[in-house]
Chain A
Amino acid sequence: MTSTLPPAKPSVRALFESMEYGPAPESDATVRAWLSARGARFDHFINGEFVAPSDGAYFDVMDPSSGKLLAHVAQGSASDVDAAVQAARAAQPAWSALSAHARARYLYALARAVQRQARALAVLESLDNGKPIRETRDLDIPLVVRHFYHHAGWAQLFDREFAGYAPVGVIGQIIPWNFPLLMLAWKVAPALAAGNTVVLKPAEYTPLSALLFAEIVRDAGLPAGVFNLVTGDGTTGAALVEHDGVDKIAFTGSTEVGRRIRTVTAGTGKSLSLELGGKSPFLVFADADLDSVVEGVVDAIWFNQGQVCCAGSRLLVQEGIAERLHEKLKARMEQLRVGAPLDKSVDMGAIVAPVQLARIRELVAQGVTEGAACWQPTWAEPKDGWFYPPTLFTNVEPSATIAQVEIFGPVLVTHTFRTPDEAVQLANNTPYGLAASVWSDDINLALDIAPRLRCGVVWINSTNAFDASAGFGGYRESGFGREGGREGMWEYVKPMREPAASPAAGKTTSVSDAITEEHPVERASLPAVDRTPKLYIGGQQARPDSGYSVPVHSAKGHLLGEVGDGNRKDIRNAVEAAHAASAWARRPGHARAQVLYYIAENLSARAREFASRIAQSTGVSIETGEREVELAISRLFTYAAWSDKHDGAVHDVPMRAVSLAMHEPLGVVGVVCPPTHPLLGFVSLVAPLIATGNTVVAVPSDTAPLVVTDFYSVLDTSDVPGGVINIVTGQSDALAKVLADHDNVDALWYCGSHTGATAVERASVGNLKQTWVDWTPRDWSDARIGEGREFLRRATQVKNIWIPYGA
């Protein structure tokens, strides 16, 4: 139904018969007065004050429900961004030096102030974005308030709960237009809580609530420079991303822009969190409460006009009930009301901008062309703004464009499935991995499905539930990093690296080293039996595809042997083998621990051999080599210990539900080993990964690959299932690039050169795999920086499973 203009003189008498809905407008007078008091012209907020753009440029901000002008807003130039970053940089030391309690007080004050301005913010947001006032009033703004309160708590607890961690520094934050103030809160609150300062760039369509927030910040007395706001379009965002003074970029938006940011920041040392697009599945099993499912769909795809990154846009229904559900959905769609966003009785408002509306229309037309059945309600949406009706596509092939791409509008596509397994396959049949919704009244079924979905959030019998205490974020090409909860706080801290202890790898060569080097193990007069180290793939030794070998020299330049010159096909085979070993993830932690202990046991039995191999390869003393082996054994014990202890959490969300934050492995992880500590470096990276259920393709460093190829016989004797650890030798940077390019590698840890790290980060955009690169040498012998939670956290991603309950 369309909310239309009322008749001139509505008669109670006629309405008593028709019982129709009438207009129920929320007044925008206060907000309009706020706009005009500022001449409908807004500047940047830098260093605690509003400052005009350096080049005097402004852009227009429109009301999507009427297409009329709302305000002129400053267009940020590179020099505006620079001023903001400098202000943030200058403010950062003092801000992080404040006591945790002082920061908590500021965040608390922001929460209170937002609460006091709640209605103004809700109206402004609705006006600017076109979303219904009901949503801004009941969802967006309360969640903003909740976010600041929750993070006031993290600020208060920071010193104890994040001991050993420091703020990242200056954070550049770029947020989208679909939940303008909420995304601001998600970005700003944790950053400030941890002692960072920020430069925020809101979306050009919807900067107004951020500008009102800037006034709130000013009035709350936040120290100048802690929060800076630069408005503008994509060029402003690009200037922020490229700025040398920014330590981290936190971005929410399209996958396409996320890729560009990854490319631009590659090798700069900037850390990155990306919350990107999605094509999230909404799975309905035959035993679900179908009437509730219908409302779930309404909340999944017709919430915020479907302009939601985690919108349940792919309805997957068990075949036997599909027709019934579609009929129910159509009946429900007839009841939806699209109209003026400030009308309290509309379900859907306006699409944010004409270009978005055009894209939705284009994709829907394409869906029809490609043969899907399109259904829209019989009523017509208003024509004077940018409106689009709720739309249902049935008979959609999985290959159809509308089934693949993110439409970012109120358009639902449906498929059917036969079995739970097929449901999971269909659900995961997408490059994205943001969210999923699972509907079944059978807890056995629902809890079986949830962990098998490759996404960061699973809502059981619910959808689009958010809370500050529960992390939100994606798998795969939906990005990485979490927002909310303890897991979100990690995005805004970095471990304080203690000054390294005395260098472990002394380069003094003794006489005995020289002897060892010449005759590493065999001291008898007979020549040693030749050993041909091969690649180790799927639990088998494999000859390199190239048929070539590369020589390996000792630290002193003597030829020690030859290793296979692995190439892209070897990497391909290793990745296949690693995927085939994915059952490793389902082993209980205790079982993984047993394997790690066994590796340690077998390494210990051959400690002397490895020590001399290390010594001959790197030129260290036998004693140093022995120490490295002992440390490697200890490290294996560390991760064996962690295997059954890297627990998830149960978040306290404000509804009758549990939110299970599960630590899940990333999947197949490439590891490029550091040039120092050939054994310890390898173990330090591979052990946390396999302890948490990943499978690994490891590339030894160029300098001492034989230490690692020697290791595969240790693996063979330690009950490591084939494919869990794969080893490909060769030119490590070249192999790193192949791994980075591989779209079926889920993450890549790289230790090597700055050039190599840059190439890895740049190439990772293909599937937006998580990368962890390090080109500053790490002292692996120092357990404080060479092992621990940081590695476990990097080796896992958090999936939040929301489970409402109630008899």
Chain B
Amino acid sequence: MMTSASRPSAATSVRPVALHTADATPQAPRVPSFTEHPARNPGTDLDLDVVAATHVNRSAAERRAATLPARRTVKKEWQAAWLLRAISCMDLTTLSGDDTPGNVHRLCAKARRPVRDDLLEALGVSDLGITVGAVCVYHRYVSDAVKALAGSGIPVAAVSTGFPAGLSPMSQRVAEIRASVDAGAQEIDVVITRAHVLRGEWNALYDEVRTFREACGDAHIKTILGVGELATLTNVARASQVAMMAGSDVIKTSTGKEPTNATLPVGLVMVRQIRDYLQRTGHVVGFKPAGGIRTAKQSLDWLALVKEELGDRWLRPDLFRFGASGLLTDIERQLEHFVTGRYSAAHRHPMV
């Protein structure tokens, strides 16, 4: 198994200040402006004190997640704008065993023109060049997607490292990352070894993600926690912290293949860790819920969650993505409903 050679010993924390002490005064973290490209998260040393101090009261977190959608809703023009924003933050995804170059090409075409031109016109946003945030495929179709998206500015993301279980040999997982980067992927969605979390082997998890990050080079690393297999929200929170310390650019909920995927309580816990990490280290990390987000209404709830807990700066594709496949169609139908006042149908929109 490969490990990072340059990593300092993670057995003891080099940052002796525990999370819950009086002198850990929150520094005012600097959030990048909207026009500013946030610096990549360099990671930190593994701080086991922080990990140990991180815990989540499940009932309270669930209550917040349950009431948040009831506290915030957007209607009419606001809703249309938010739905367009959701599209711009979408990782349009196909991760099926029966994927072929054909359906990947179709996906890429949809990524370039996610909404019918007449609707964009009616909404007055034709010239904004709204596209999805990225296209997400298996390694095998990275080069097809890169070609199909050439000139669009839409990055290709590759799921990697033995997706979805992440249990293939480390050397193969690292090689897979490199292969995808070589094929033109600008973002790599890696999966962690869930056993490290379930067994509390934070050093191992840290090493693993650090290694992945190094393999990614200039490509952004989006670390999939597989929350549906992490058992508790506290595990989710701790895994989030370690993944960020190890240098993840984005932390992502799920592969979409676990029994449960992106739920609001899980998302709430993860964004709170991002906020905490920002306050503690000054480093900005993105967030990607994936799996199970199928309706326009769900996408609005997620945007509200991120807006409330992290702030408006995160409502941009460089810091927030939905991993979705079916979501786009529902959003298109809602947009048409806004424009025409009539309920729409899926077959009225070019298929993904």
The chain A residues found within 8 Å of chain B, CB to CB, are 10-16, 19-24, 134, 138, 286-289, 291-293, 295-296, 299, 319-324, 327, 335, 344-345, 347, 441, 461-462, 655-657, 804-807
Tell me which residues across on chain A come within 8 A of B272, comparing CB atoms: 291
Q: A23-B75, A289-B55, A804-B60 are in contact. Are A324 and B26 (CB under 8 A)?
A: yes
Q: A15-B77, A16-B125 are in contact. Are A292 and B60 (CB under 8 A)?
A: yes
Top 5 closest pairs, chain A to chain B, by CB: A22-B78, A15-B81, A292-B60, A804-B59, A806-B58
Q: For the complex formed, measure the closest distance between the CB of B54 and the CB atoms of chain A, giving whole angstroms.
A: 9
Task: Check if A347 sits within 8 Å of B71, measured CB to CB.
Answer: yes
Task: Check if B77 sits within 8 Å of A19, measured CB to CB.
Answer: no
User: 5 new A-B pairs (CB below 8 Å) besides A292-B61, A295-B63, A804-B59?
Assistant: A13-B125, A22-B75, A22-B78, A320-B21, A806-B58
In angstroms, Cα B303 to Cα A616, docked, is 85
Most buried by B among A15, A805, A807: A15
- B72 interface hit (Cβ, 8 Å): yes
Most buried by A among B61, B62, B67, B74: B74
Q: For the complex formed, measure the closest distance between the CB of A494 and the CB atoms of chain B, giving whole angstroms.
A: 39
Within the complex, which residue of A12, A288, A324 is in contact with B80, where a contact is CB–CB below 8 Å?
A12
- B124 interface hit (Cβ, 8 Å): yes
- B307 interface hit (Cβ, 8 Å): yes
Tell me which residues across on chain A come within 8 A of B55, comparing CB atoms: 287, 289, 441
In angstroms, Cα B124 to Cα A299, docked, is 40
Task: Check if A13 sits within 8 Å of B73, measured CB to CB.
Answer: no
Within the complex, which residue of A19, A804, A807 is in contact with B81, where a contact is CB–CB below 8 Å?
A19
Chain B residues numbered 19-41 whose CB sits less than 8 Å from any CB in chain A = 20-22, 24-26
- B297 interface hit (Cβ, 8 Å): no
- B56 interface hit (Cβ, 8 Å): yes
Tell me which residues across on chain B come within 8 A of A24, comparing CB atoms: 73-75
Tell me which residues across on chain B come within 8 A of A324, comparing CB atoms: 20, 24-26
Task: Check if A295 sits within 8 Å of B125, measured CB to CB.
Answer: no
Q: For the complex formed, measure the closest distance between the CB of A132 and the CB atoms of chain B, giving whole angstroms.
A: 9
Task: Check if A441 sits within 8 Å of B57, measured CB to CB.
Answer: yes
Task: Check if B70 sits within 8 Å of A289, measured CB to CB.
Answer: no
- B17 interface hit (Cβ, 8 Å): no
Task: Check if B60 sits within 8 Å of A295, measured CB to CB.
Answer: yes
Within the complex, which residue of A20, A323, A347, A806 is in contact with B59, where a contact is CB–CB below 8 Å?
A806
Task: Check if B59 sits within 8 Å of A22, measured CB to CB.
Answer: no
Task: Check if A462 sits within 8 Å of B84, measured CB to CB.
Answer: no
Tell me which residues across on chain B come within 8 A of A462, comparing CB atoms: 59-60, 63
> What are 13 A-B interface contacts by the 8 Å CB criterion?
A10-B76, A14-B81, A16-B125, A20-B78, A22-B78, A134-B70, A291-B272, A320-B22, A324-B26, A461-B57, A655-B59, A805-B59, A806-B62
Tell me which residues across on chain A come within 8 A of B59, comparing CB atoms: 461-462, 655-657, 804-806
For B85-124 the 0/1 string (1 means CB < 8 A from A) is: 1000000000000000000000000000000000000011
Q: A13-B125, A320-B22, A461-B60 are in contact. Are A19 and B85 (CB under 8 A)?
A: yes
- B206 interface hit (Cβ, 8 Å): no
Q: For the complex formed, measure the closest distance between the CB of A191 and the CB atoms of chain B, giving whole angstroms.
A: 32
Q: Identify whether the interface residues of B are mostly helix, strand, loop, or mixed.
A: helix
In angstroms, Cα B66 to Cα A299, docked, is 13
Tell me which residues across on chain B come within 8 A of A138, comparing CB atoms: 67, 70
In angstroms, Cα B327 to Cα A360, docked, is 47
In angstroms, Cα B272 to Cα A56, docked, is 59
Q: A12-B125, A289-B56, A295-B60 are in contact. Are A319 and B22 (CB under 8 A)?
A: yes
Inter-chain contact total with CB atoms closer than 8 Å:
116
**Interface size, chain B (Cβ < 8 Å):** 43
- B201 interface hit (Cβ, 8 Å): no
Tell me which residues across on chain A come within 8 A of B85, comparing CB atoms: 16, 19
In angstroms, Cα B60 to Cα A299, docked, is 11
Tell me which residues across on chain B come within 8 A of A441, comparing CB atoms: 55, 57
Task: Check if A19 sits within 8 Å of B315, measured CB to CB.
Answer: yes
Most buried by A among B60, B64, B71, B81: B60
Chain B residues numbered 272-301 whose CB sits less than 8 Å from any CB in chain A = 272
Tell me which residues across on chain B come within 8 A of A289, comparing CB atoms: 55-57, 60-61
In angstroms, Cα B169 to Cα A216, docked, is 69
In angstroms, Cα B81 to Cα A296, docked, is 31
Most buried by A among B20, B62, B303, B312: B20
- B198 interface hit (Cβ, 8 Å): no
- B231 interface hit (Cβ, 8 Å): yes
Task: Check if A286 sits within 8 Å of B78, measured CB to CB.
Answer: no
Q: For the complex formed, measure the closest distance between the CB of A395 and the CB atoms of chain B, giving whole angstroms.
A: 16
Tell me which residues across on chain A come within 8 A of B60, comparing CB atoms: 289, 292-293, 295-296, 461-462, 804
- B308 interface hit (Cβ, 8 Å): yes
Tell me which residues across on chain A come within 8 A of B307, comparing CB atoms: 19
In angstroms, Cα B58 to Cα A12, docked, is 37
- B128 interface hit (Cβ, 8 Å): yes
Tell me which residues across on chain A come within 8 A of B61, comparing CB atoms: 289, 291-292
- B82 interface hit (Cβ, 8 Å): yes
Task: Check if B56 sits within 8 Å of A11, measured CB to CB.
Answer: no
Tell me which residues across on chain B come within 8 A of A286, comparing CB atoms: 20
Q: For the complex formed, measure the closest distance between the CB of A254 and the CB atoms of chain B, giving whole angstroms.
A: 29
Chain B residues numbered 188-232 whose CB sits less than 8 Å from any CB in chain A = 231-232
Tell me which residues across on chain A come within 8 A of B73, comparing CB atoms: 24, 344-345
Q: For the complex formed, measure the closest distance between the CB of A66 and the CB atoms of chain B, giving whole angstroms.
A: 21
Tell me which residues across on chain B come within 8 A of A20, comparing CB atoms: 78
Tell me which residues across on chain B come within 8 A of A806, comparing CB atoms: 58-59, 62
Q: For the complex formed, measure the closest distance between the CB of B300 and the CB atoms of chain A, giving whole angstroms.
A: 11
Task: Check if A807 sits within 8 Å of B24, measured CB to CB.
Answer: no
In angstroms, Cα B82 to Cα A807, docked, is 34
In angstroms, Cα B259 to Cα A383, docked, is 50
Task: Check if A287 sits within 8 Å of B20, measured CB to CB.
Answer: yes
Task: Please give me the residue from chain A that is nearest to B126 by CB atom.
Answer: A13
In angstroms, Cα B24 to Cα A286, docked, is 13
In angstroms, Cα B72 to Cα A292, docked, is 18
Q: A12-B77, A345-B71 are in contact. Are A807 and B232 (CB under 8 A)?
A: yes
Tell me which residues across on chain A come within 8 A of B80, comparing CB atoms: 12, 15
Tell me which residues across on chain A come within 8 A of B232, comparing CB atoms: 807
Tell me which residues across on chain B come within 8 A of A13, comparing CB atoms: 81, 123-125, 128
In angstroms, Cα B128 to Cα A10, docked, is 17
In angstroms, Cα B315 to Cα A134, docked, is 25
Task: Check if A22 sits within 8 Å of B58, measured CB to CB.
Answer: no
Tell me which residues across on chain B come within 8 A of A19, comparing CB atoms: 81-82, 85, 303, 307, 312, 315
Q: For the complex formed, measure the closest distance between the CB of A795 and the CB atoms of chain B, giving whole angstroms.
A: 34
Within the complex, which residue of B21, B26, B64, B72 is in contact with A21, where a contact is CB–CB below 8 Å?
B72
Tell me which residues across on chain A come within 8 A of B125, comparing CB atoms: 12-13, 16
Q: For the complex formed, measure the closest distance between the CB of B240 and the CB atoms of chain A, giving whole angstroms.
A: 13
Task: Please give me the residue from chain B that is nearest to A346 by CB atom.
Answer: B71
Task: Please give me the residue from chain A that is nearest to B268 by CB atom.
Answer: A291
In angstroms, Cα B57 to Cα A805, docked, is 8
In angstroms, Cα B82 to Cα A335, docked, is 18
In angstroms, Cα B20 to Cα A321, docked, is 6
In angstroms, Cα B164 to Cα A7, docked, is 47
Q: A19-B312, A19-B315, A324-B24 are in contact. Are A12 and B84 (CB under 8 A)?
A: yes
Q: For the complex formed, measure the closest distance between the CB of B139 and the CB atoms of chain A, giving whole angstroms.
A: 34
Task: Please give me the residue from chain A that is nearest to B273 by CB atom.
Answer: A291
In angstroms, Cα B55 to Cα A286, docked, is 12
In angstroms, Cα B81 to Cα A12, docked, is 5
In angstroms, Cα B80 to Cα A22, docked, is 11
Task: Check if B20 sits within 8 Å of A292, measured CB to CB.
Answer: no
Q: A807-B58, A807-B231 are in contact. Are A292 and B81 (CB under 8 A)?
A: no
Q: For the complex formed, measure the closest distance between the CB of A84 and the CB atoms of chain B, giving whole angstroms.
A: 38
Task: Check if A10 sits within 8 Å of B22, measured CB to CB.
Answer: no
Q: For the complex formed, measure the closest distance between the CB of A531 and the CB atoms of chain B, giving whole angstroms.
A: 63
Tell me which residues across on chain A come within 8 A of B84, comparing CB atoms: 12, 16
In angstroms, Cα B88 to Cα A533, docked, is 91
For B139-159 the 0/1 string (1 means CB < 8 A from A) is: 000000000000000000000
Q: A16-B85, A19-B85 are in contact. Are A11 and B75 (CB under 8 A)?
A: no
Q: For the complex formed, measure the closest distance between the CB of A48 and the CB atoms of chain B, giving whole angstroms.
A: 38
Task: Check if B75 sits within 8 Å of A16, measured CB to CB.
Answer: no
